[in-house]
Amino acid sequence: MKKIEAIIKPFKLDDVKEALNEVGIQGMTISEVKGYGRQKGHKEVYRGAEYVVDFIPKIKIEIVVETDLADKVVETIKKAAYTGKIGDGKIFVLPTEEVIRVRTGEKGKDAI
Amino acid sequence: MKTKSLFITAIVSLIPFSSAFAGEEALNSGDTAWIIVATALVMVMTPAGLALFYGGMSRYKNLLNTIAMTFISYCIASVIWMMWGYTFAFGTDNAGIIGGLNHLFLNGISVNSLSGTIPTYVFVLFQMTFACITVALVLGSIVDRMKFSSWIVFAALWVTFIYCPIAHWVWGGGWMGKMGALDFAGGTVVHINAGVAGLVLAQVLGKRSGYGKEAMFPSSITLTALGAALLWFGWFGFNAGSQLAADGVSGSAFLVTNTSAAMGALSWMFAEWYVNKKPTLLGIASGVVAGLVAITPAAGFVNLPASLIIGLVAGIFGFYCVAIVKKKIGYDDSLDAFGVHGICGLWGALATGLFANPAITEGAAGLFYGNPKQLWIQLVSILATASFTAVGTLIVVYITRFITGGIRVEPEDEINGLDSSLHGERGFEITF
């Protein structure tokens, strides 16, 4: 099993969610995060006082899938989150040892 | 042109009915009704308008403290005004400097007393709302770092010893009014006075910790914009009410007030758009206030074209002062009480000396209507107000410091935020 973490632009969340639904992904966890990479922060000016905002709001999506689905999911996210401009985000793929469904105690791929 | 001369004729024909202090007049129910409403309008400016305007600009951790200081200023000035403030400002004149004690605790005033064509009680209340907002305006310079107890003591002393004498000089039969200084609704008494006092207090208090180094985001520009709208709304009572009658001059004051505010917003926005590449809502809201401040001393004296110029210049001046001059000089006037009220008040007082048109209020003529002396009188009134306030406020600050054992909060409290450290509350509870 793999865990896929994707950092994307917030306004792309709906596109990514729909695209993932189409390839059969049934659930995901998202969080509002902040960070920066090559896309530096921006400047805000209040009555002449300039403040540089380093951290830019992003959405982090977390999904766990069976190993053979991982490439397809990555590809789907890559396509749906793409704008071509700096700051489109990153996708991380991590190995996952175990998944347990709390309610039933099911484990492994049955629990996904 | 024809329409204009007709308009002027109409205004002139109304003048005989507009003199508020003509002695032997009887109560006029129209005037009285309007001033009661105007008083309520001016009241809204302080605990609602100014509280939100300032609160939204302060940091999220000091939002409640800012609103609390504004609220309590209104309460303190309300009580002091009734006890001794009114008599210091409007009691029997003593050498043009200060009112006598004949109206202490409103002694000698009854339900039958008249001030012009309105009951004296209504006049007392209307004037009270001006004292309230003036002291509250000062706190814009010092939010985020002053002890609440010190603010209470300062506000009480300042209303008594700084506001009341100046109000007496200009409106209470004092030397400035006798000299012929024109201040319709408080350019010197309210705005220059509060702006300079704010600057002095901010200098004694020192900069906010982290000023110029860390980002200090306004807690909510939404609240600030709403506050500016309420100030604008209340300002109709402030300016059109200052005629103390429901007549043509008060209608004219209403008209130029709105026009100047709108022009101020436009010019501030365009100036900022040009310089910083973005038209901010904070800039638009600030421009409204700049335009309102500048028209205040002129409201009952100038015509429509003058109000367009007064608002236009106020917006650009205000923007230039808070965005460029402040940065260069390096003082920490947190919410720009001096930059907006001091500077635009100064411009308004001068503009009154330029544009006062005898066709609006008889006998009030500025430089452009053949009376260059008026500009000089205005200048003297500005300098006198600013110097008295600067020195007087400094003394009041030192007395406050002595009474409350320092005026600044502990560094730790300042970092944690005054809402939690001084009031034990929080402005927002937002969770995801």
B261: left (phi over 0), alpha (psi -120 to 50) or beta: alpha
Q: Structure tokens of B274?
A: 């040009």
Q: What are the two backbone dihedrals, phi and then psi, of residue B354, each rounded to the nearest 5 degrees?
A: -90, -45
Q: Do B217 and A32 touch (CB under 8 A)?
A: no
Distance of alpha carbon B303 from alpha carbon B310, whole angstroms: 11
Tell me which amino acid residue B195 is. G
Q: Do A46 and B217 touch (CB under 8 A)?
A: yes
Residues of chain A with Cβ-Cβ distance to B343 below 8 Å are none
So what's the pLDDT on residue B329? 84
Rounding to the nearest 10 degrees, give the CA dihedral for residues B236, B241, B245, B249. Answer: -50
Residues of chain B with Cβ-Cβ distance to A49 below 8 Å are 216, 327
Distance from CA of B414 to the nearest CA of A (A): 20
Q: What are the two backbone dihedrals, phi and then psi, of residue B119, each rounded to the nearest 5 degrees?
A: -60, 145
Q: Which residue has the tokens 């002393």?
A: B157
So what's the pLDDT on residue B11? 45
Question: From A49, which residue of chain B is nearest by alpha-carbon distance?
Answer: B323
In tens digits, chain B (432 residues) has pLDDT values of 344 444 444 444 444 444 444 445 799 999 999 999 999 999 999 999 999 999 999 999 999 999 999 999 999 999 999 999 999 999 999 999 999 999 999 999 999 999 999 999 999 999 999 999 999 999 999 999 999 999 999 999 999 999 999 999 999 999 999 999 999 999 999 999 999 999 999 999 999 998 888 889 999 999 999 999 999 999 999 999 999 999 999 999 999 999 999 999 999 999 999 999 999 999 999 999 999 999 999 999 999 999 999 999 999 999 999 988 888 888 899 999 999 999 999 999 999 999 999 999 999 999 999 999 999 999 999 999 999 999 999 999 999 999 999 999 999 999 999 999 999 999 988 765
**Interface-testing mutation among A31, A32, A33, A46, with chain B (most B C-beta atoms within 10 A):** A46
Distance of alpha carbon B231 from alpha carbon B229, whole angstroms: 5
Across residues A33-49, what is the average pLDDT?
Answer: 85
Closest CA to B333 of B205, B168, B246: B205
Distance from CA of B322 to the nearest CA of A (A): 6
Nearest by CB: A48 against B215, B216, B324:
B324
pTM for the predicted model, two decimal places? 0.85
Tell me which amino acid residue B427 is. G
Helices (H), ranges, B45-113: 51-57, 63-80, 86-90
DSSP chain A: -EEEEEEE-GGGHHHHHHHHHHTT----EEEEEEE-SSS--EEEEETTEEEEE-PEEEEEEEEEE-HHHHHHHHHHHHHHT--SSTT-EEEEEEE----B-TTT--BGGGG-
**Which domains are seen in chain B, by residue range?**
28-423 (1.10.3430.10)
Q: What are the two backbone dihedrals, phi and then psi, of residue B186, each rounded to the nearest 5 degrees?
A: 120, 35
Using an 8 Å Cβ cutoff, are B368 and B138 in contact?
no
Residues of chain B with Cβ-Cβ distance to A47 below 8 Å are 282-283, 286, 322-323, 336, 339
B205 CB near a chain A CB, below 8 Å? no
Closest CA to B118 of B183, B36, B226: B36
Radius of gyration of chain A measured on its C-alpha atoms: 17
- Tally of CB atoms within 10 A around A56: 17
Q: Which of residues 286-305 of B touch A (CB under 8 A)?
A: 286
Distance of alpha carbon B44 from alpha carbon B352, whole angstroms: 26
- Tally of CB atoms within 10 A around B395: 13
**CB under 8 Å to A14, separation ≥6 — which residues?**
none
Within chain B, what is the greatest distance between any pair of CA atoms? 67
Q: Structure tokens of B119?
A: 């009951």
**CB under 8 Å to B401, separation ≥6 — which residues?**
B150, B204, B407
Closest CA to A3 of A101, A56, A74: A74
Q: What are the two backbone dihedrals, phi and then psi, of residue B313, each rounded to the nearest 5 degrees?
A: -65, -40
**CB under 8 Å to B256, separation ≥6 — which residues?**
B295, B298, B299, B302, B303, B304, B306, B307, B310
So what's the pLDDT on residue A109? 86
Using an 8 Å Cβ cutoff, are B366 and B354 in contact?
yes
Residues of chain A with Cβ-Cβ distance to B323 below 8 Å are 45, 47-48
A36 pLDDT more than 50: yes
3-state secondary structure of B271: helix
Residues of chain B with Cβ-Cβ distance to A32 below 8 Å are 432
Within chain A, what is the greatest distance between any pair of CA atoms? 59
